[in-house]
Structure 1
C-alpha cells in the first residue's frame, strides 16, 4: 500500500512540476489541485451511477442526454447523487469525456469554454440542495482566462489539455474503500506546494510534523471524537490529521478567511471521503465574524495554527462579546494571538482538549496579554501544558514557537507541564524538521507528565504564581550545560609544549633559509 501511495504521489507531483512551466508554483497549485478534484468528482459520479444502472445493464457514460429515455435516467440518478454525493455531473460533463474531446484526431481541440461551463454546472447542480454551501464557488480560483496559463487562447488550451490528458492516464482507485491513497496524495501535493511557497505557505498549510503533535495530544485516551474544530483551518490539514488518530470523528468544523484557501479546504475534505454532511467550513474572519453555526457549539477537540501576531480590530465592542467579556481586557491590535486563544476556549467543550501553536511571545509578554494569561491560569486553571518547539520548522518564518494545551476539566489541576523540545530536530537543507522519534518523545512526555532533566518539568501552580504567571520555558526547564572546568596547570603545560614546538619549527625554517641564501621571515 505504501508503494502504491508513493507512486501516485510521485506521478501527481511530476505532472504538476513538468507542466507549470514558468508559472509560480503557488498559482499553479490552484489549477492542478482543482483539476485533480474535478477528475475525482467525475470518477466518483461514474462509479455511483454505474451501481444504480447495473440492473439495467447500462453504463453511465453511454447514456444519451439528448433522448427522453436518457433524460429520465439522469433525473433519477441526479436525485440520489445529490443526497449521497452532494453534486451531479452529466455523462458529457465527465473528466474523461472532456479529455477525449480535447484530444480528438490526435490534436488539442479547443475545450476551454466547455470546461468552464462544466465546472459552473457542478456548482449549480447543488442549488437548493443541502450541499449547496459546501460546493458553492468551489472552482472560482480556476481562472481559465488567466494570462498565466499562456499568452494566447490556443496556448492556454494546449496547457489545460495536457494537464487533463496526463491526469486521465492515472487510476485514482477510488472504488477501494479500504484506503485513502488519493486523499493522502492530495495532501502530499498541498505540502509540496507549501514547501516552495515561502511566506505564503503559512496561509494554507501546517507542516505535517506539527499537525501530528497537535492531533496526538487532543486525542490522548480517546478512540472516537464527537467533533473537531479549527478556527483558522487553512487547507484543513490539521482537521484531517486528527481523524488519523482515532477510529471515528463525528463532524469536522472550521473557519478560514482566505476564499482561495477556503475552497481548497472543502476540496481537501471531499478528497478524503469526508461526506458533505459531516463537515462545516465557513469563509469569514474568525475573530471579527465567527460562524453563526459554530459560535453556539462546543467542540471536543480543537486544534489550530493561527497566523502569528496578526492584526485585528480589538474593537471595544468585543468587551461585551461572550468570548472576551470575562477577561476584562482584549488582546492588542497588533497581536491577536490571545484573541484566538480566548475564542477557542469559548468554543471548547467541558470534556475537550485544545492544542494550538503560537509565537513564544505569548508566554511572557505583559500588559493586556499578561492579564489574559494570568486569568486563564489563576481564575480558570485551564492551562495544562506548554511545549517549546524548535525554531525554523514553519514555512516562511524562522521564529521559535510553542504549543499551548488547554482543558476545562483538567485531571492534573495542581500543576502545569513544561516541555523544552527546542533542540530535538534534524536539519534538512535550510529547514529544521521533527522526525517521528522527536514527535514520539514530545507526546509520550505529555502523556506521562513527568520531569526529565533538561527536557521537561512539572511546575506547581504556586511556582507559576511566584513567577507572576510568566511562562517562559527556561524559568522552569533548566537546560544549562556546565562548561568543562579549566585546569590552569594543564593549560600552562600545553603552552610550554607549544613554545618548544614553535622554537623547533623556527629553527628548521631558519636552516632552510640559510641553505637557500635568503633572509629569514622573522
Structure 2
C-alpha cells in the first residue's frame, strides 16, 4: 500500500526534529529534501535492477547489463534499461553503512549521481552537506546519521509512494514551518485529486501539447502523462510505455522557485517524461 499523506507528514516531522538544533526551521527542507530525492532515486534504481534480475534470471547479469549501458553512454542518453544510473556510493544501503565523514560522503554521493546523469545536474547536487559557518559545521555528522536513519523507515520506490511524493514532501515542510513562524507559505499546490480530475477532463491524446505556466513540482504534468499511458500505453520490459505508433505528449512547464523547479526536473526523469521545464517568472 502506498505511503499515505498522514504517514508521510509524521515521517517528515520526525526528520525535521532530528536537525532542529543546528538548523533554523525555514531551512529544514534544504537538508531533508535532497536526501529524500536521493533515497527516491536509489529505491527506484533498486526496483529496476530487481525487474531486470527477474527478467534475466540473475542479479549479476542484470548488474552487468546496466554497467555495460553506463559505460557506453546509453543510460545517460535516456535509452537504457533503467531510467538513470546510481553509483555504488550513492545507493542508500551504502549510505546507511557509512560511519565516518558522513557530510562529505553525502556531498560526494549527490555529485556522483549528477555526473552519471546529465539530466540531474543542477537538480540534485546543489547542497553541500559538509558546509560550515564561522568555522563550524552547520549540520554535524551525528545529526546527519540520525536523519539518514529516520529517512530509512520507508521505501520510496515506484509502487511505494504516489507519483509526486517529492512535491508533497516539499509542500508539507513549507507549510508547516511557515505556519510555525506565523507566516504564509506563499505557495499553494493543486490537490492530487484535482490534478487527476483535470487530467481526465483534458483526456490527453498522443502528440498533444500541454503547458503549465506555474508547474511547481510537475504534479499536473505527471497526471497528464500517466493518463495518456493509462489510455494508450502498453507494458514493455516491466514498464508502461507508449507504443511506437503513438507520439508522446509535448510537455512544457515553467516554475519560479528553484527548489520546486528541481523537483519537477527530477519527477520528469523518474517518470520517463520528455518534459521541457524552465526556471523563470511566467509573468515577465
Shift of 1:242: 5.4
Q: In 1, distance between residues paired with 2:57 and 2:199?
A: 49
- CA 1:284/1:208 → structure 2, altered by over 3 Å: closer, same or farther? closer
- CA offsets 1:141-183 (integer angstroms, 9 cap, x no match): 42313458x98449521122211122223233x253xxx6243
Counterpart for residue 158 of structure 1: 142
* SS of residue paired to 1:16: helix
Q: In 2, distance between residues paired with 1:8 and 1:27?
A: 22
Q: 2:170 aligns with which of 171, 175, 190?
A: 190
- CA offsets 1:225-270 (integer angstroms, 9 cap, x no match): 5332112223334444556777468243211233333213223444
Counterpart for residue 236 of structure 1: 218
Counterpart for residue 31 of structure 2: 31
Q: In 2, distance between residues paired with 1:137 and 1:237?
A: 20
Counterpart for residue 285 of structure 1: 281
Q: In 2, distance between residues paired with 1:263 and 1:154?
A: 23
Q: In 2, distance between residues paired with 1:259 and 1:243?
A: 23
Counterpart for residue 422 of structure 1: none
Q: In 1, distance between residues paired with 2:61 and 2:89?
A: 10
* SS of residue paired to 2:251: strand
Q: 1:119 aligns with which of 100, 110, 114?
A: 110
Shift of 1:28: 1.4
CA contact (8 A) 1:231 1:286 kept: yes
Q: In 2, distance between residues paired with 1:215 and 1:147?
A: 43
Counterpart for residue 201 of structure 1: 185
Gaps of 5+ in 2: 232-247
* SS of residue paired to 1:181: coil
Counterpart for residue 93 of structure 1: 90
Q: In 2, distance between residues paired with 1:175 and 1:212?
A: 19
Query: Which deviates more from structure 2 when the two are superposed, residues 151-160 or residues 260-269?
Result: 151-160
Counterpart for residue 509 of structure 1: none
Which structure has more strand as a fraction of its residues?
1
Q: In 1, distance between residues paired with 2:109 and 2:166?
A: 22
Q: In 2, distance between residues paired with 1:262 and 1:162?
A: 28
* SS of residue paired to 2:141: helix
After TM superposition, the structure 1 = structure 2 runs for residues 240-319 of structure 1, keeping only pairs within 5 Å, are 240=222, 247=230, 250-270=249-269, 273-275=270-272, 277-288=273-284
CA contact (8 A) 1:8 1:185 kept: no
Q: Note if 1:227 corresponds to 2:224.
A: no
TM-score, normalised to structure 2's length?
0.71
After TM superposition, the structure 1 = structure 2 runs for residues 354-503 of structure 1, keeping only pairs within 5 Å, are none
CA contact (8 A) 1:30 1:141 kept: no
* SS of residue paired to 1:282: strand
- CA 1:167/1:206 → structure 2, altered by over 3 Å: closer, same or farther? same
* Matched residues, number: 255
- CA 1:46/1:5 → structure 2, altered by over 3 Å: closer, same or farther? same
Shift of 1:279: 1.8
CA RMSD of aligned residues (A): 3.8
- CA 1:261/1:151 → structure 2, altered by over 3 Å: closer, same or farther? farther
Query: Which deviates more from structure 2 when the two are superposed, residues 113-122 or residues 74-83?
Result: 74-83
Q: Note if 1:48 corresponds to 2:63.
A: no
- CA 1:136/1:175 → structure 2, altered by over 3 Å: closer, same or farther? closer
Structure with max Cα Rg: 1
CA contact (8 A) 1:228 1:252 kept: yes
Counterpart for residue 161 of structure 2: 181
Counterpart for residue 57 of structure 1: 58
Q: In 2, distance between residues paired with 1:58 and 1:6?
A: 33
* SS of residue paired to 1:121: helix
TM-score, normalised to structure 1's length?
0.42
- CA 1:17/1:201 → structure 2, altered by over 3 Å: closer, same or farther? same
Name which structure has the greater RCO, CA cutoff 8 Å, separation 6+: 2
